[in-house]
Chains A and B, each alone.
Chain A
Amino acid sequence: MSRVESPSGENYDEHYDDETIALLALGESVASVDAGHLRACAACQSRIDQMQAVVGSARAITDEDRPMAPPDDLWQRITDEIESDGPVRGKASHHDRRSDTRPRWAGWFALAAAVGVLVGSLGTIVAMDRENPTPTIAQAELEPLPGKDARGVAQVRQTEQGPMLVVDVPGLPATDGYYEVWMLAPDAESMVSIGVLGGSQVNEFPLPAGMDMDRFPVVDISVEQFDGDVTHSADSVVRGELSA
């Protein structure tokens, strides 16, 4: 064990060394540890907590979690795909659908390309409410971000298939890219991608089971480019916080 002096000059006698932390995280009892120090020292407690999280995850490893190589033909499929789409830009390949083994992702890119121009229909979320009376659990007014004009509404509805996010944003301007729907944490530092807006004005997205709406309560729609970058573009158009 080492003696460490805190910045305040207070003498923390016995900060645990890394070995003690490791053993405690594994759940071993370490005869030499000063239990009183642990109660008083948030730093040591936090180091143990962090290591315990690692140990907990590791203990939960099953055989199915052990990395296993993909099937041998997958590399060939990948290079075929890249070559058929051209070496540099490979979006939306409509050509060369040779066989049923064609991977599904080509369709995803085609879909994304198809929403390059968004035209709002006249349907509204309210009309949808009448047609499809599913209980609304939460709702958000989507307000324009600075410099943007569009506004809209988002609702979370309870359906037989589970919770659904319904988004209605009329008047989104045409874009060379596409619009993506996100649910953000209040600080906008972490987020979950919900989906890509389709051509109709009202879009429905099934929410993943276990989606924590308290953690990600903010509905956000961003303009994304076909640049292959999966992260949020930081170019949001509208945003609003869900409330019951």
Chain B
Amino acid sequence: MTESVADTRGADLAPGTNSSTSGGPSVRSLADADISAAFARGDESALREVYLRWSPLVYTIARRKSSNDADASDITQAVFVAAWQGRQSFDPDAGSLPAWLLGITRRKVADHWRQMNRVPEPRADMPDDPRPDSGIETTVERVLLADELERLGEPQRRILELCFFQDMTHAQVASLLGLPLGTVKSHIRRSLGRLRERLEVDGVPR
């Protein structure tokens, strides 16, 4: 089963979205590490970067787990204020900054429902699962995976979305996109590996 891993066509398909156009796949994680380190040093400007980079994750989880968008904003605000005030307790060696932020998010969501003093109810405008009263870990996982999917670049993202949401086989995907079978298979392998790694790095409760 020797296959070509090289796939220059992928980058050509969607210039500007493939990570290689911004200097290689490691750029994002390097930048994240820089932001985390600056934040851990108490660099005030780093908070802005942290917010820009990770507030969509926090806000989306809060939206899924609260009654309305105003509450989701309040929870998100509480998370970032608490993160700033508690930044000295963030230890970059103990885990990723997003994992730490999501730990605070879990707590602030729980605080929110305690404050409301009632049992969480599903949002009328988001009737689908997960309901707010289902485990928050389900939501955390889905939002992290959705985020990582968006970061995969093309054609990796499209390949996985066809597999996940259209239930296509790799052969069908290859034929639809006009890509070699082996290329599709190795994209699937590497992309699934990235999704799994993202959950391992950022999804573990801290």
Interface residues of A (CB under 8 A from B): 1, 17-19, 22-23, 25-26, 28, 32, 50-51, 54-55, 57-62, 64-71, 74-75, 77-78, 81-82, 85, 87, 89-91, 103-105, 108, 161-162, 190, 192-193, 195, 205-206, 208-210, 227-231
Residues from chain A with Cβ under 8 Å of B149 in the complex: 58, 61
Q: CB of B82 within 8 A of chain A?
A: yes
Any A CB within 8 A of the CB of B4: no
Check if A105 sits within 8 Å of B85, measured CB to CB. Answer: no
Structural contact, B133 and A208, CB atoms closer than 8 A: yes
| CB atoms of A1 and B134 under 8 A apart | no
**What is the distance, in angstroms, from B142's C-beta to the closest C-beta of chain A?**
4
Contact indicator B145/A57 (Cβ below 8 Å): yes
Asked if B18 lies at the interface with its beta carbon under 8 angstroms from chain A, I say no
Contact A229 B86 (CB under 8 A): yes
**A231 and B205 alpha carbons, distance in the complex (Å):** 10
Establish whether residues B114 and A195, one from each chain, have CB atoms under 8 Å apart when the complex forms.
Answer: yes
Question: Would B78 and A61 count as touching, CB distance under 8 A?
Answer: no
Distance, CA A66 to CA B163, complexed state (A): 18
B82 to A19, Cβ gap below 8 A? no
Q: Does B7 contact A (CB under 8 A)?
A: no
Contact bitstring B17-34, A, C-beta under 8 A = 1, else 0? 000000000000000000
Interface string of B177-206 (1 = CB under 8 A from A): 000000001101100110110010000011
A68 and B60 in contact (CB under 8 A), knowing A54-B196, A227-B88? yes
B179 to chain A, nearest CB (A): 15
Task: Report the minimum CB–CB distance from A201 to chain B (whole Å).
Answer: 19
Give the interface of B toward A (CB within 8 A): 1, 44, 48, 51, 55-60, 63-64, 69, 72-74, 76-78, 80-89, 103-104, 107-108, 110-111, 113-115, 117-120, 126, 128-129, 133-135, 138-139, 141-143, 145-147, 149-150, 160, 163-165, 169-170, 185-186, 188-189, 192-193, 195-196, 199, 205-206
A78 in contact with B80 (CB, 8 Å): yes
A82 contacts B82, C-beta separation under 8 Å:
no
Of the candidates B88, B118, B146, B170, the one whose C-beta lies within 8 Å of that of A65 is B146
On chain A, the residues within 8 Å of B48 by CB distance are: 75
Flag if A59 contacts B64 (CB, 8 Å).
Answer: no
Complex Cα distance, B80 from A78, in Å, reads 7
Residue from A19, A67, A70, A193 within 8 A of B188 (CB atoms): A19
Q: Which of A64, A68, A104, A227 contacts B74 (CB 8 A)?
A: A104
Interface contact B77-A81, CB-CB below 8 Å:
yes
Q: Are A51 and B141 in contact (CB under 8 A)?
A: no
16 sampled A-B residue pairs with Cβ under 8 A: A19-B185, A32-B1, A54-B145, A57-B145, A62-B142, A64-B128, A65-B139, A68-B63, A69-B56, A70-B73, A75-B51, A90-B81, A90-B85, A104-B78, A208-B110, A227-B89
Q: Please give, as numbers and ranges, the residues of chain A lying within 8 Å of B55 by CB-CB distance.
A: 69-70, 74-75
In the complex, what distance in Å separates the CA atom of A85 from the CA atom of B84? Answer: 12
Partner of A78, one of B81, B103, B114: B81
- Cβ–Cβ < 8 Å partners of A89 in chain B: 85
Within the assembled complex, what's the spacing in Å between the Cα atoms of A81 and B118?
Answer: 27
Q: Which A residues are in CB contact (< 8 Å) with B44?
A: 87
A67 & B146 in contact (Cβ 8 Å cutoff): yes
Contact B128 A70, beta carbon cutoff 8 Å: no
Residues of B within 8 Å of A193, CB to CB, are: 107, 110
Q: From A61, A65, A67, name the one whose CB has the most chain B CB atoms within 10 angstroms.
A: A65
Taking a contact as CB atoms closer than 8 A, the residue among B74, B88, B165 that contacts A59 in the complex is B165
B146 and A228 contacting across the interface, CB-CB below 8 Å: no
Asked whether A70 lies within 8 Å of B89 as measured between CB atoms, the reply is no
Besides A23-B188, A58-B160, 15 more A-B contacts (Cβ < 8 Å) are A19-B189, A22-B185, A51-B192, A54-B145, A57-B145, A58-B145, A64-B60, A68-B56, A70-B73, A103-B78, A104-B78, A104-B115, A208-B120, A209-B120, A231-B103
